Amino acid sequence: MGAPTHVSASERPVPPRPDPPRLYRANVASPETSPTQTPNPLQPSAESSSLDGLVAAVRDHGGLRAKRSIAAVRRIVEASDPTTGPGDDGAVVEMSTGGSVVVCGEAMHPAFMASDPRAAGMSAVLANVNDLAAMGAVPRAIVNTVVAPTSVAAEALDGMAAAAELYDVAVVGGHLTEHDGEPALSAFAVGHADQVLSVSRARPGQHLVFVCCLEGHMRADFDFFSSISVRGSRLAADVRLPAQAARQELASAAKDVSMAGAIGSLAMLLEPARLGAEIDLGKLPVPTGVSLDRWLVCFPTFAFWLTTERPDQCVDLFRGAGLTAEVTGTITGSGLLMLRHGDDSRQVFDLANEPITGLW
């Protein structure tokens, strides 16, 4: 079947439309919060007032549990890729002229597409450019496949166009089938990387840097922290910073925080080599007004884990762009992913013995 491919686990603001969730349409107004650019102390809610509660919230998160189905890919795709995977956020094609082409794809949930097609279109672009960024790639183009009634397809394409302008990436083509049944939307992106960021390059002893945008608000109806309206066109430069970090050798591996949440996404980065880490929750950036238990399982517009041997320079790169970046832990060879606050710590995953995606 040739070289194996990767299967991802997985705006221009136009008031009064809501910022897009990942899966479900908004039914209530989005709450307002005060943006901040500094980390917050541990602030769990009453339902999760201890490390045990936080561990339970992470492990029971539906977005993380859904990643286990990715193991089905092993039936048709080889277990390893000579360059990166599988398991990274995109597939890598090395070019004879230098550098690499990175390709990725995302499918939107049909219920999301049916209830809020414009938001689904925007989310399709957002998810793809974040995946490219996690690979150290600059987004170049997006194509799509839309199967939907005429009006639904038009709204989805409008959302894609708005997000494409926001992220400064062109929608260059695709496929459209108009029909009256259940709608479907998938989008695929291509980017270029001078130096690929890959989970295969994560090593014990590397520092873990958490980079995020704390400007925005958490939706009341869905665990999506939206920075779209606040960050606006700056997101285009933001998603190109990981590629700069890769070129300057300030990072080796990366993973964008998506449906698995912050800790679940980190587990996916560590899983291939059965690595471990201890995350200091006192150093983890958290938006003002957002409880830690919810922040750990949400899907932010912009949040990444990076591994680095040059933590100070890596942090400075992102802070210089007005983003938040903190060194929150170090990779170990133990296979144990731990959360720590003060002198107290708890194990979240034993990656040497339990699968997250089950690809290895």
Q: What is the per-residue pLDDT across 158-182, written as a single tens digit (0 to 9) for each?
A: 999 999 999 999 999 999 999 999 9
What pTM, to 2 d.p., does this model score?
0.83
Is the dihedral angle over the CA atoms 266, 272, 275, 276 positive or is it negative? positive
Instruction: Return the pLDDT at 63.
Output: 86
Question: Would you kindly state where each structural domain of the chain is located, as residue ranges?
Answer: 46-65+196-350, 100-193
What are the tokens at 68?
């286990």
The DSSP call for residue 31 is P
Instruction: Return the pLDDT at 3.
Output: 37
Hey, do 46-65+196-350 and 100-193 end up sharing a CATH topology, with the first three levels equal?
no
Domain 100-193, CATH 3.30.1330.10 — does that match?
yes
Distance CA 10, CA 126 (A): 13
Distance CA 270, CA 243 (A): 20
Low-confidence stretches of the chain (pLDDT < 50) are: 1-49, 82-84
Task: Answer yes or no: are the C-beta atoms of 221 and 26 closer than 8 Å.
Answer: yes
Instruction: Return the pLDDT at 215.
Output: 95
Q: So what CATH class is 46-65+196-350? A: alpha beta
